[in-house]
Structure 1
Amino acid sequence: MEVIDYFSGSSKKMIDFFQNLEPVTQALLGTVFTWGMTALGASAVFMSKDISKRALDGMLGFAGGVMISASFFSLLAPAIEMSEGKDIPAWFPAVVGFLVGGIFLGGIDKVLPHLHFGSPIEKAEGIKTTWKRSTLLILAITLHNIPEGLAIGVAFGAVATGFPSATLPAAIALAVGIGIQNFPEGLAVSMPLKRDGMSSLKSFWYGQLSAIVEPIAAVLGAIAVNIAKPVLPYALGFAAGAMIFVVVEEVIPESQNNGNADLATMGAMVGFAIMMVLDVASG
């Protein structure tokens, strides 16, 4: 009971602290936390020379599960609820935003030079360049972090609009969930860089740097929904579509490519369940 009371008290203090801040500041702090979790994962290069493919696949599956769960419980479901009772079908803003988000990320995927982990440099995607393999690997994980930051920014921005389905505890839970899955993402960047011959310090630096886009995307998302509140359901759907694109196009396939499909699948289920509990328990 004392442990439960401790965590309940800590959660209340955190919510009280965030309530006194502007939405943009809330989003910024939330993504500074997720950035820090990426850095924590990347710091593993100082303690280990490598990580097994099996462990990495399990963690990637976990990250994918968190992102899928967050896309529905934290983004699509609130978007649909906010649209009820309007002149258009309740599903319309969520569906339009979802599809546009996927198309947007698909466009970035076609343009931004990047390389999926475990792939030879000849399989690099996006505009052809002479950039090094390490640069292309960093850009691949950076692509993951754009929709994650945007989702957190939109979630915190939505709280200020007064919609009953957009609550501060839910926005904090989303930031915590994405932060948890950012740990293996940071690890997934730094370890391959070290394996390719980069020093531990440089591997850590570039690993954590891949998440710098999250605070930027979060601030832009929070500003956008506060300037134009009617676009909020569309913005929530957009963030969900962008995240699902990344999961289906990259995270899940990468986790399944090395003969560890069962472990990766269980990791995805655990990640989905944890994010679901965080979101539903937060109200």
Structure 2
Amino acid sequence: MILKITLIGLIVGVIGTGLGGILAVLFNEKASKYMSFFMGLSGGIMLSLVMFDLIEEAIEGIGIVYAVILIFLGALATKILKEKVKINGENASGYLMLTSIIMHNLPEGLAIGTTFLAEPKRGIAMAAAIGMHNLPEGLALALGFICNKASGKRAVIMSMIAGLPIAIGCFIGSSFGEIFSAIIGVLLSIAAGMMMYVVMDEMIPESKSIYTIIGVMLGIVIVKSIA
């Protein structure tokens, strides 16, 4: 089971961001025209999954008070880590985005692993949603490198590297969850806080257009329809 979940994380992470990187290389600046919609769509999907699935499962496991506290701590930890990241030199913007994506892909993998243990169908839905939002992440990351005159090969490789922490998170989440099943709610709460911060601080605010709003609304509808 652990190997299966880890493999799912590897596929979701590397292929998701890798495809985004390939799109950036193929379409270059043209691909950026669709960023607002896809970022909004993925943001809406992720926000809905956090609100309607992760948090609900966490509250069932540890109660609303502890869940709220840990969600806040997860978001705060992500904010502090993000502020501590300082990268300089050539392709600084690309590496900064790479660090940011790696930083939140780990808890996303953790979310897949712990959610998969609690309810496999929900875990698969979570993996699919994360895979979908990894595509615009990989696209944005690769464009950051390409705009700084990095090679297409380098941009794609960096995009794929950004997805690896999802597999690591899946392994840790599934292993830790099986041994200490009583604290799955704790892990889900922390992951929910981290993911919520990323969506609200990075994904939706960075894409300011009507297409972002349409994407967010469509993402929410998709999740509610599946649920």
Same fold (TM over 0.5): yes
Quote the residue 1:65 is aligned against. 44
Q: Could you list the per-position Cα deviations for residues 29-74 of structure 1 after superposition, in whole angstroms to 9, with x for gaps in the alignment?
A: 2212212121112111342222354421221111211211121223
Task: Give the C-alpha shift of residue 130 in structure 1.
Answer: 4.5
CA contact (8 A) 1:97 1:236 kept: no
Q: Does the alignment pair 1:189 with 2:149?
A: no
One-letter code aligned to 1:137: M
One-letter code aligned to 2:197: F
Quote the residue 2:98 is aligned against. 138
More helix by proportion, 1 or 2? Answer: 2
For 1:151-190, list aligned pairs within 5 A.
Answer: 151-156=111-116, 159=117, 166-190=118-142
CA contact (8 A) 1:96 1:234 kept: no
Q: Which of residues 87, 103, 109 in structure 1 aligns to 2:82? A: 109
Q: Does the alignment pair 1:147 with 2:120?
A: no
Which sections of structure 1, spanning at least 5 residues, go unmatched? 1-21, 84-89, 115-128, 160-165
Q: Which of residues 264, 267, 281 in structure 1 aligns to 2:215? A: 267
Task: Give the C-alpha shift of residue 98 in structure 1.
Answer: 0.9
CA contact (8 A) 2:109 2:167 kept: yes
**How many residues are matched?**
225
Q: Does the alignment pair 1:56 with 2:35?
A: yes
For 1:214-253, list aligned pairs within 5 A.
Answer: 214-253=166-205
Quote the residue 1:76 is aligned against. 55
Tell me the SS of whatever aligns to 1:254.
coil
Percent identity at matched positions?
Answer: 27
One-letter code aligned to 1:174: M
Task: Give the C-alpha shift of residue 97 in structure 1.
Answer: 2.2
> Structure 2-normalised TM-score?
0.90
Structure possessing the higher radius of gyration over alpha carbons: 1
Distance 1:239 1:64 in 2: 15
